[in-house]
A and B are shown apart, each in its own frame.
Chain A
Amino acid sequence: MTEPAQPIIQIQNVSKRFGKVTAVDNVSLDILAGEFFVLLGPSGCGKTTLLRMIAGFELPSEGRVLIDGQDMAGIPPNKRPVNMVFQSYAVFPHMSVADNVAYGLKIAGVKGGEARDRVAEALDLVKLGGFESRMPDQMSGGQRQRVALARSLVMRPKVLLLDEPLSALDAKLRAQMQFELSELQEKVGITFVTVTHDQDEALSMACRIAVINKGDVSQLAAPSDLYEYPANRFVADFVGSVNIFEGKLTLDEPDKAAVDCPGLGKVYLNHGVTGPHGADVWVALRPEKIYLHVPGEGKAVKAAAQDAPDGYNFARGKIKGMSYLGDITLFEIELETGARIRVSRPNLSRHDQEDFTWDDKVSMHWRADSPVVLLG
């Protein structure tokens, strides 16, 4: 896209309360035309409520929802230029695949040949060509989901809303559908807004992700930014796996910073964090960014010293737990401080998993650009 993308959905100061419970709390965000947008959060965080307010099934207690510049207040779901793929797929069980897909077209007044062509086109798009006369009870869950997709896409909506689209599929199929959904979205060029609690799903499909916590947007960023530069402890912990240690900021300059963590040790960063000196902060360190060294700490100290002063970015501990996952091995290590840390190690050769075992004394180091300092 050469032109700066226009917002297709604008959510402005939207709150939603159910009785005393605030499901969505003063959320504002723009979803851009043509992007694959993901609302990510734990269950009950308000992400589905937000999606349902875009579709028109819930009305905001406060604030406005604009679709393509038009205020949606007072416009019922059947008059909105968006379509939804439901978590349960909601394929009409008493209609054939073709009748399901043609349902919305008939209402829109599309007739005869054109309707047939568009149904066939939509079914081809989701790779269900030839399934026209099947009944939903003769189809697998994955196929029913494709019917639901085709049924929405055939309406050529401005925005397609997907509520937990992959949650009911098994792991293999889910991975495949992640690719297919991304591919489909690129092909049809429609804005997709997906709700999910699964971070892998969000990271693999999204252009941008809004992480929702307790009805509020915790962070809105591209997948890699979300993972590598989480804005707060919630995002760091929710997206991916992470070790978080409390500490005090002891040094903060434009090109370097240091944090003293009682649980982990002294942490050095090769960039500034712009926090008040001596402030309470948290250091987040991803398990895969920690290098594990065979007993004997010389190598670890030397490796750490390459980009950090002596005594920084280095720790010692004892292996307390191991889980071999094939591609990687996860270690649970008890540090000398008594804190626990998780480290993952890729099994680059067939015998890598034999390098370590329970109760081995190990040393660790990490690079100066790996830790993330979180102020909240």
Chain B
Amino acid sequence: MAEQDWKANKRVFAAVSLPTLLWTILFFVVPMAIVWVYSFGENAGLNEIRFSGTLDNYKRATEFLYLSIFGKSFAVAALVTLICLIVGFPVAMAITFASEKWRPWLLLGIMLPFWTNLLVRTYALMILLGQQGYANQGLGALWGGASWVKTLVGLEPLPTWEPVQLLFNNFAVVFGLVYVHLPFMVLPLYAALDRLDRSLIEASLDLGAGHFRTIMRIVVPLAAPGIVAGVMITLIPALGAYLTPDLMGGTDSQMIANVIERQFKKANDWPFGAALSFLLIYAMFILIALQSMRRKVPEVR
């Protein structure tokens, strides 16, 4: 009753939602609208944009060069999401089935990276992956060890260790994005798995299923809402990733956000940048629309 009264009282409802609404309009809808209008404009002088209703920006944005960067961004984001899912699912299961005592600490471990600035985390990762980084040092030590074992049994030693290029390439971008986005995947998966009625798992075991079959036939299908949420919440920010490819990527690993950034900064072509931005936004809209069209898994409590 109380809830209905609250909803029925229009003035209370308005008073409560007004600040948020104003904030959203002022700082989200209006700037977005301006950018949207820019995307139909053209440059007139260094810092003047004339609105002309032209579609040229979109025509240029759909040229093969840019479409291929869109495509590559999708591919990278999809790969990152897939790796996050494959790595994140066992992690989420481990947290779910950990003892009461350990669970908060494991969750804390997942969330801890959020407390550090993204830039700092990215540079830390770069130090790790650099030519003289710990990753290469470790690999070098293993290489040296293998070489030493070979000489022990009287074989030719291995050639000297050449550090592997772990940074400034596509591998680095995917690695960095997975590192950054993993918590986004794990948390919704954990939320879904935590709500799962344990007796469903026990019932499956009781009916003769092994653990693997129980996971594939019972746990995964029932965690589907969490999987979809995790995929969306990982895919969308990964698609618009800007800092990681900028810092860790090579010349060939730029993603669409880097191209957009260049239009607004170096190229000083705001209308074209705006058009690219909106193409990205439309793509995300389609993804979200697809998600909400998905058949809902009925819930039995």
Contact = CB atoms under 8 A, between A and B. Distances in A.
A104 B205 CA distance: 9
Interface string A50-62: 0000010100000
A107 B209 contact: yes
Contacts of B204: 92, 103
Interface residues of B, number: 21
Best-buried of A76, A87, A104, A135 by chain B (most CB within 10 Å): A104
A180 interface: no
A85 B218 CA distance: 17
B209 A94 contact: no
A78 B199 contact: no
B205 A77 contact: yes
A148 B300 CA distance: 14
Contacts of A92: 200, 203-204, 218, 222
B208 interface: yes
A83 B206 contact: yes
Interface in B191-230: 197, 199-200, 202-210, 213, 217-218, 221-222
B298 interface: yes
B298 A136 contact: yes
A187 B210 CA distance: 31
Contacts of B209: 78, 103-104, 107
A91 B217 CA distance: 13
B300 A104 contact: no
Contacts of B207: 78, 83, 103-104, 107, 151-152, 155
A91 B206 CA distance: 12
A78 B147 CA distance: 49
B297 interface: yes
Contacts, number: 73
B99 to A, nearest CB: 11
Given A78-B210, A104-B208, A107-B208, A84 B298 contact: no
B299 interface: yes
A84 B201 CA distance: 12
Contacts of A151: 203, 207
Given A93-B222, A93-B299, A137-B298, A155 B202 contact: no
B299 A77 contact: no
Nearest to A87: B199
A86 interface: yes
A93 B298 contact: yes
A127 B191 CA distance: 37
A94 B223 CA distance: 11
A88 B197 contact: yes
A265 B213 CA distance: 67
A90 interface: yes
B221 A94 contact: yes
A78 B298 contact: no
Contacts of A57: 202, 205
Contacts of A144: 300
Nearest to A82: B206
Nearest to A83: B206
Given A135-B298, A137-B298, A88 B199 contact: yes
B298 to A, nearest CB: 4
A108 interface: yes
A137 B202 contact: no
B64 to A, nearest CB: 43
A92 B299 CA distance: 10
Task: Indicate the member of B200, B202, B203, B207 with the most A CB atoms within 10 Å.
Answer: B207
Nearest to A161: B206
A86 B199 contact: yes
B208 A90 contact: no
A57 B218 CA distance: 18
A86 B203 contact: yes
A91 B222 CA distance: 12
Contacts of B213: 107
A259 B217 CA distance: 65
A76 B299 contact: no
Contacts of B222: 92-94
A87 B199 CA distance: 9
Interface in A104-123: 104, 107-108
B300 A93 contact: yes
Interface in A64-90: 76-79, 83-84, 86-88, 90
Contacts of A86: 199, 202-203
A144 B299 CA distance: 13
B148 to A, nearest CB: 44
B300 A77 contact: no
Given A86-B203, A93-B222, A94-B221, A155 B300 contact: no
Contact of B206 (A84, A93, A94): A84
A132 B123 CA distance: 59
Contacts of B208: 78-79, 104, 107-108, 155
Interface in A143-202: 144, 148, 151-152, 155
A135 B298 CA distance: 9
A78 B206 CA distance: 5
Contacts of A155: 207-208
A90 B207 CA distance: 12
A94 B199 contact: no
A55 B208 CA distance: 12
Nearest to A135: B298
B206 A137 contact: no
Interface in B268-300: 297-300
Question: Nearest 7 pairs between A and B by C-beta?
Answer: A104-B207, A90-B203, A137-B298, A93-B300, A90-B199, A86-B199, A107-B208
6 contacts: A78-B205, A78-B210, A92-B222, A93-B297, A107-B207, A148-B203
Interface of B: 197, 199-200, 202-210, 213, 217-218, 221-222, 297-300
Interface of A: 55, 57, 76-79, 83-84, 86-88, 90-94, 103-104, 107-108, 135-137, 144, 148, 151-152, 155
Given A84-B202, A93-B298, 5 more contacts: A57-B205, A86-B199, A94-B222, A151-B207, A152-B207
